[in-house]
A and B are shown apart, each in its own frame.
Chain A
């Protein structure tokens, strides 16, 4: 699937200002406490603080700008509604990432159902418009990005969290509520899949020349 966004992506080409310091975590806790009491301004500050990271996570999971916009909104809305369930056992960011991942998965499921319906409708109408699957990407990075979007969701998410969001194995394990061993295995398989696809492409172009 070629990356198609309804509007151009506005890359700013700089990493997230990560390294959540203990003071930032302290701030989070205060803002969460205020938000739990219904303080919308406090919640707006939390949104401001995390919206870019959450948007990017969702965008890389869904590969659609408008859909990512909608699902990011739903993530924050779900967080707002469920704040009373957040007891501070994990960091607020971890909890929020978990919601974002679950919302993205739900959307992917929905998309699968919609697609099945669409395919059924097209078959009924005898519409056999071919889907352009030809890869016309020469740039290696664009290619890797393309392959990333085709990986199964469970492999895509570990690569996104590890490389795009620069998280440790421990943080990823906490977000996905999986043992670290499973995270390692998923990362290993995900990169091997990317590697195999790149190698296949290299072999193809070698034969072509």
Chain B
């Protein structure tokens, strides 16, 4: 075992998080390495001192004070249970926009529906661009097309879910994603 590996395991050793084999290997290394032994002694001193920091007694009237405030405070009802499913106007508009984009392909393929739209009805430059894009999509190999549509659909689905989930859920999700990034 190398000192670098040992240094990483010393704390796990003190927390009893190593397997018996790992602990034995570490003990064998520490027995022959003065630097790691010193490191272990210092860490042990720190953890022992932390364990022995004394418990502080709370004020005698803490319970009484809490219950006085409790007596004056009503409990919240179950009402906020569905608050997460109550998106704001801006969130609803964004979700509708994203959902429209997600279904745009099928709308544009139907001439009758296309005629209802003020755009892309065959008389402007946008409709030409859309038509050429549709033409390009239908001429590429079908498995690539399905993969591309699947990816776009999944991405839009995630976006719609996040928009409707509310800001609290979004920040929690982002935090959880960041925690799981393999950067340490």
Contacts and interface: CB of A to CB of B under 8 A. Distances in A.
Interface of A: 9-16, 36, 38, 40, 43-44, 47-48, 51-52, 55-56, 59-60, 65, 69, 72-73, 76-77, 80-85, 140-141, 144-145, 148, 159, 162-164, 166, 169, 178-179, 182, 184-185, 187-188, 191, 194-195, 198-199
B43 to A, nearest CB: 6
Contact of A10 (B42, B56, B73): B56
B127 interface: no
5 contacts: A10-B56, A81-B73, A141-B49, A141-B53, A198-B42
B62 A163 contact: no
Given A47-B66, A55-B62, A179-B180, A140 B45 contact: yes
B53 A69 contact: no
Grouping DSSP codes into helix (H, G, I), strand (E, B) and loop, the A interface class, with mixed when no group exceeds half, is: helix
Interface of B: 8, 11-12, 15, 17, 39, 42-43, 45-47, 49-59, 62-63, 65-67, 69-71, 73-78, 80-81, 179-180, 184
B179 A179 contact: yes
A165 to B, nearest CB: 10
Grouping DSSP codes into helix (H, G, I), strand (E, B) and loop, the B interface class, with mixed when no group exceeds half, is: helix
Given A77-B73, A163-B51, A10 B62 contact: no
Contact of A73 (B52, B57, B65): B65
A184 B76 CA distance: 36
Given A51-B62, A52-B55, A69-B58, 17 more contacts: A10-B56, A11-B54, A12-B57, A13-B54, A40-B71, A55-B58, A55-B62, A56-B56, A69-B59, A84-B77, A144-B46, A144-B53, A178-B179, A187-B15, A191-B46, A191-B47, A195-B39
Contacts of A55: 56, 58, 62
Contact of B55 (A13, A80, A148, A182): A13
Contacts of A9: 54, 56
A76 B62 CA distance: 11
Given A69-B62, A77-B69, A191 B11 contact: yes
